[in-house]
Amino acid sequence: MINVLIVGKGKMGCLLKNRAEELGMNCLGCCDVLDPSLLEQNKDRIDVILDFSHPDNLNWILEQIRGTRIALVEGTTALSKEQKEAMEKAAEDNPVFYSANYSYGIAVFHKILELAAPLLKDSFDIEIVETHHNQKADAPSGTALALLETIDPGKEYDPVFGREGVIGKRGREIGIHALRGGTVAGIHEVGFYGNDEILEIRHTANSRMIFVDGALKAARFLCGQEPGLYSMVDLLK
C-alpha cells in the first residue's frame, strides 16, 4: 500500500485525499508549512508527497525530504525560477514529478503542438487563450505558459500578455490571454491564424478530477523510481 501525504487543505487537497483513499492508498492526511507536524512526524512512513497548494510551501517541503527517499508530486503553479531550480536540485536525490497540468489530454496537446508549431509558426500568427474559475490566483495559467514553451522553445517570439491601446501592426509575437469567471475548471486554446484559414486546438477540463486522477497516477508511477525529474511525458511512454 502506498502511503501518501497531501500538502494543502483547500479544494484540491481535499479531492486528492478522498480520491487517494478511494483508490486504496493510505492517506496520512493534509498539512502545510503552518501545520507541519504531520509531515515532520511521519517521514519514515511517507512514500509520496502530493503538493497542489501554494508556492510558499515548496521550500519547506524540499527541506523536509532532503536526506530521505520520499517522492514528490509537485503541481503548484506560479513557482519562481529559483524554486524550479531548487526542485531540479532535489531531483538528484529524490524522485520528483513536476507538471503545470496533470491532464492526460493536455499532455497529448503538447505532443500535437510539437508537431504542428514548427510547420506553422513562420507563416501563421499564434495566440493562446486560457479560461479559469474566478478564484484562480495566478494569470496566465501555468499550463498556458507551458504551451508557450512547447510552441516556442527557442524563444524566437516576443510573448505579449494581453493587448491595450494603440498597439500598431503585429510584430513577431505570440499573444497570451487570461479569462476568469464562474466555476470553469480550465479551458486552453491555441489558434494558428493564416491567410484565409485558421487552425484551432482546444482542451476543456470539465472538472478538477482529471487533475486529481493524473496526479495520483503520477504518484503510483514514482513509487520505485530512481531519483530524477519526471513529467507527463514519462506517463505517455
Instruction: Determine contact, residues 32/7, Cβ cutoff 8 Å.
Output: yes
Between CA 152 and CA 130 the distance in angstroms is: 17
Q: HEC string of 177-196?
A: EEEECCCCCEEEEEEEEECC
Beta-strand ranges (E) seen in 18-149 are 26-31, 48-51, 71-74, 95-98, 125-132
- Polymer length of the chain: 237
- Find the catalytic residue in 136, 188, 203, 217: 136
Between CA 57 and CA 77 the distance in angstroms is: 12
Q: Helix axis angle, 209-222 relative to 11-22, nearest 10°?
A: 60
- Find the catalytic residue in 17, 110, 132, 203: 132
Residue 81 falls in the annotated catalytic set: no
| C-alpha closest to that of 219 among 108, 104, 97, 105 | 97
Residue 207 Cα to chain centre, angstroms: 15
Residue 70 Cα to chain centre, angstroms: 20
The set of cell numbers assigned to 88 is: 531540479
Residue 136 falls in the annotated catalytic set: yes
**Which run of H or E residues covers position 157?**
none
State the catalytic residues. 132, 136
